[in-house]
Every structure is written in structure tokens, then in C-alpha cells.
Structure 1
Amino acid sequence: MAHHMQTPASHLAYLTAQNRIPAASVIALRVAVVLSKWGQRRRSRHALHQLPPHLLRDIGLTPAEAERESRRVFWRM
């Protein structure tokens, strides 16, 4: 028996279509997910900015590349 795996987004769409989750709740959840991703990016970029050159080399980045990435705004991938 094949089991169809749903993504979180498709599952939310299904539940909303079935009137099991109000649309406002879906919107609030999506906003929370976006804010969480933005926070993680901000923390990751700050941590990258703090790494010494020898650790940057270990992950394959030059100090200039790390600096450029750490200066990117959190809402950009």
C-alpha cells in the first residue's frame, strides 16, 4: 500500500479546504514560520561573522566572502 507524503504546506491547504483550520490560523502559522526562518538566518550570519579565518578556511570561505554573507539582510536568502 503506497502512502502519499504531504508537505506541511499541502497539508495546511488540505485542512483549510476541509474547513478544519480557519484561514486566519493558517496565515498566522505561515507568518510564524517566516519569522522563525528570518531569525535563524540572522543568528547564522552573525555567527559566521564571528568565525576566525582558520575556521572559515575549514568551511571553504574567504574572510571577504564571510563578511559579504554576514552583511546580507536577514530576509534575503
Structure 2
Amino acid sequence: MERTLSSELNTQQVSSKSAMPLRLLANLLQWQRRMASRHQLARLDSRLLADAGISEAQRFSELNKPFWR
């Protein structure tokens, strides 16, 4: 079967439309991981922070970021 330019464009449009929900899901999962990670970071005491090489200032900076960053 011969492919035409219009059929290739339609295929690309369909694949980009079907990729959108996957990108949304990937973003949601990334945001959830960030929130969980920051929640764990907030629970660390000063001894555990020192063991990980994280200063209080670095923790404060990380905890004040919005979930999408």
C-alpha cells in the first residue's frame, strides 16, 4: 500500500493526540514522587541530614519549591 502525505499527517496527529494522556500521566507521577520525596526530607532529623550531606538551608530550599519544580 502506498502512503501519501495526507495519511502520514493523519498518523502523526493521532499519535500526538494519544501521547498527550501519557505525558499527563508521566507528569502526575513525577509530581507525586517529588511530593513524597520532600515529605520524607521534611521528616529527617539533623543527624540524618548530616549523614546525607544536606544542610538545613538546602532542605529549606527544597521544601519550599512547588511540586511542579
Give the TM-score, by structure 1 length: 0.65
Q: What SS class does the counterpart of residue 30 from structure 1 fall into? A: helix
Given candidates 33, 37, 42, the residue that maps to 2:30 is 37
Mind listing any 5+ residue stretches in structure 1 that lack a counterpart?
Answer: 1-16
The 5-angstrom pairing of residues 29-68 of structure 1 reads 29-68=22-61
Q: Please, which runs of 5 or more residues in structure 2 have no aligned partner?
A: 1-8
Q: Between Structure 1 and Structure 2, how many residues are aligned?
A: 59
**Could you tell me how far 1:46 is from its partner in structure 2?**
1.3
Larger radius of gyration: 2
Identity of aligned residues (%): 34
TM-score by length of 2: 0.72
Runs of 4+ residues deviating >2 angstroms: 21-24
Shift in Å, 1:68: 1.8
**Cα distance between partner residues in 1 of 2:34 and 2:17:** 26
For CA contacts below 8 A with separation 6 or more, give which structure has more relative contact order.
2
